[in-house]
Amino acid sequence: MSIPVILLTAKDAVDDRVAGLDAGADDYVTKPFAVSELLARSRAVLRRRGTLGQEGDLTCGPIRLSRTVRDAFCGETPLNLTGKEYELLEFFLCHKDQILTREQIFDRVWGFDSGAAITAVDVYVHHLRKKLAAGGADALLRTVRGIGYLLKGEANVQ
């Protein structure tokens, strides 16, 4: 998997920009910057990478997440996920076979400025497992002791 990188820095010399781009950055933004410009550059990088507006289904074994209607199924059984459970499952499906730390999950699903505690990750993983158990897929979501969680299986974007 390739992660888009935008360097946000106070170094504005041409040599610094060239070095940053040659090191693999997709874009280089210097301070001060307008937030609207940074967001537009982010959207442009994601469009070029083909990761913006992905609306295909994500699957992993019997689990299917439909991005177009924000719904999830285990086999033919609807999972009836809450908003956070949906975001959590989508994050796992996008990173299948990768160990995700609680911090990574928390930052992606709840955000840095959330008032929730990091233990919310464990609570929501528990809820998600209960819903996946209805379709016999709860074993795909594994705990990696002392680190975080792993969705094990063959996930595909259709």
CA distance 155 to 95: 9
Structure token digits, residue 21: 């781009």
User: How many other C-beta atoms are found inside a 10 Å radius of the C-beta of residue 35?
Assistant: 7
Query: DSSP letters of 71-113?
Result: EEEETTEE----HHHHHHHHHHHHTTTS-EEHHHHHHHHT-TT
User: How many other C-beta atoms are found inside a 10 Å radius of the C-beta of residue 139?
Assistant: 12
- pLDDT over 50 at 156, yes or no: no
Does 3.40.718.10 match the CATH number of domain 6-49?
no
DSSP 3-state assignment of 27?
strand
Question: Which CATH code fits 58-157?
Answer: 1.10.10.10
Q: CATH 1.10.10.10: which residues of the chain?
A: 58-157
Structure token digits, residue 95: 């990173």
Phi, psi at residue 8, to the nearest 5°? -120, 110
pTM of the full structure = 0.65
* Each residue's pLDDT tens digit, 51-80: 544 557 889 989 999 888 889 999 888 999
* Each residue's pLDDT tens digit, 89-134: 999 998 899 999 999 999 889 887 788 999 999 999 999 999 999 8
Residue 153, Cβ density class (10 Å: 0-12 exposed, 13-18 middle, ≥19 buried): buried
